């Protein structure tokens, strides 16, 4: 009843929600840098054609950016005298890659439109274009993010989901970022491409029981019980170079590479969603596209906040 006595409060709430929803716009660069999106698309396509794995790497860069203090390009910053960046955080060290591709794109964009297009937006668009280049869905990317002037090693260590998490902790990690369980299961489908290091799945293939025995045996050949931490195995053993729904088919067959992957199909609340995606790739594509937009909306810097970096690796 109290709300009925406070119409100005309702108006204020409506105004704030309107501002929030209008922060980013798909037409943000239409006038200020009309060729930017085409340039990013062509350069991403060339990079993926040169090295298929790069598509997964660029997708992952956007994810690892957004989960640490929002989608602000902070993951791209090198260490400085005043802060330690995110590149050496436990989930990132010797793992995330693709920085040189982003550098090249930024350089070309700067030559077209000086200090207009943010590194954070380049990451968001490159992630979309990488998925498309690998045969996955497309979506309209809201734009207008600005770049952070600092980064956080501590936040990267605490906020990026570990491959060792159980379902409840995974759900919590995504919920803290405003993402639903549906978003989490759909975004996990990004593991239909890319590779993981032996150190991230060794315990699963040697010690867990909810795993196909032949899959475990074959995976051990490239991941010894000790040593070889950086040896790589595909996250999707069936079609590692294509963005499709085989990730979910693998989970149903108990062939998830990471502990956190198989948790999505392990007798819990997300089993039905995994099963749906394993049978209906169109549904997965639709939900993945929507989830990527939701993820890309995590705490962006807009307006006069942050800056537009000239070099994605350092502040201006």
Taking only the tens place, the pLDDT of each residue in 145-188 is 999 999 999 999 999 999 999 999 999 999 999 999 999 999 99
Active site residue 64: yes
192 is in an annotated binding site: yes
Q: Per-residue pLDDT averaged across 100-125, rounded?
A: 98
Q: Is pLDDT of 121 > 60?
A: yes
Q: Is the dihedral of CA 197, 234, 128, 186 positive or negative?
A: negative
Task: Label residue 143 left, alpha or beta by phi (over 0 means left) and psi (-120 to 50 means alpha).
Answer: beta
- DSSP 8-state secondary structure symbol assigned to residue 81: S
The answer to the question of whether 72 is labelled as a binding residue is yes
Integer Rg of the chain from CA: 20
CA distance 98 to 57: 6
Q: What span, in angstroms and rounded, lies between the C-alpha atoms of 112 and 108?
A: 7
Residue 203 and residue 39: Cα distance in Å, rounded?
42
Pairwise pLDDT comparison (11 vs 28), residue with the higher score = 28
What does the mean pLDDT of the chain come to? 93
Residue for token digits 């996955």?
A: 136
* In the chain, % of residues over pLDDT 90: 92
226 is in an annotated binding site: no
236 is in an annotated binding site: yes
Of residues 167 and 2, more confidence is placed in 167
Catalytic: which of 39, 60, 62, 64? 64
pLDDT the model gives residue 18: 36
- The answer to whether 77 touches 85, Cβ cutoff 8 Å, is yes
Instruction: State mean pLDDT over 245-269.
Output: 98
79 is in an annotated binding site: no
Neighbours of 226 (CB within 10 A): 6
pLDDT in the model for residue 23 = 85
pLDDT at 7: 43
- Residue 20: what pLDDT? 41
Two tokens, residue 146: 């600005």
Give Cβ neighbours of residue 105 (< 8 Å, ≥ 6 apart): 39, 40, 43, 44, 122, 126
On whether 68 is known to bind a ligand per the annotation, the reply is yes
Judged against a pLDDT cut of 60, whether residue 15 lies above it is answered with no
* Other CB atoms within 10 A of residue 32 CB: 10
Residue 121 annotated as lining a ligand binding site = no
Confidence of residue 10 (pLDDT cuts 50, 70, 90): very low
Over range 181-208, report the average pLDDT.
Answer: 97
What's phi and psi for 225, nearest 5 deg? -65, -20
The answer, yes or no, to whether residue 14 has pLDDT greater than 50, is no
Distance in angstroms between the alpha carbons of the first and the last residue of the chain: 51
- 11 pLDDT band, cuts 50/70/90, is very low
Strands (E), the chain: 195-197, 232-234
pLDDT of residue 38: 97
**Tokens for 242?**
């294509």
């Amino acid at each position: 009843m109290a709300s009925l006595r406070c119409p100005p409060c309702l108006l204020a709430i409506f105004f704030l929600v309107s501002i929030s929803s209008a922060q980013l716009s798909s037409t943000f660069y239409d006038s200020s840098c009309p060729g930017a999106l085409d340039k990013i698309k062509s350069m991403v396509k060339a990079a993926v054609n040169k090295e298929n794995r790069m598509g997964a790497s660029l997708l992952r860069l956007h994810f690892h950016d957004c989960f640490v203090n929002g989608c602000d390009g902070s993951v791209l910053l090198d260490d400085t005298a005043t802060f330690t960046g995110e590149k050496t955080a436990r989930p990132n060290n010797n793992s995330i890659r693709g920085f040189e591709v982003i550098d090249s794109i930024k350089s070309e964009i700067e030559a077209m439109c000086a200090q207009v297009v943010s590194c954070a937006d380049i990451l968001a668009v490159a992630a979309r274009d990488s998925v498309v280049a690998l045969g996955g869905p497309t979506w309209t990317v809201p734009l207008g993010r600005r770049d952070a002037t600092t980064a956080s090693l501590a936040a990267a260590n605490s906020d990026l989901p570990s491959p060792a998490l159980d379902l409840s902790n995974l759900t919590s990690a995504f919920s803290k970022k405003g993402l639903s369980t549906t978003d989490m299961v759909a975004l996990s489908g990004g593991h239909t491409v890319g590779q993981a290091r032996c150190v991230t799945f060794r315990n699963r293939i040697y010690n867990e029981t909810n795993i196909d025995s032949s899959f475990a045996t074959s995976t051990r050949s490239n991941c010894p019980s000790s040593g070889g931490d950086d040896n790589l195995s595909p996250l999707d053993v069936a079609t590692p170079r294509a963005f499709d729904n085989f990730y979910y088919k693998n989970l149903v067959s108990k062939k998830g590479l990471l502990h956190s992957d198989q948790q999505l199909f392990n007798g819990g609340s997300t089993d039905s969603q995994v099963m749906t995606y394993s049978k209906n790739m169109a549904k997965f594509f639709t939900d993945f596209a929507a989830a990527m937009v939701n993820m890309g909306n995590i705490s962006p810097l807009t307006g006069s906040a942050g800056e537009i970096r000239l070099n994605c690796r350092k502040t201006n």
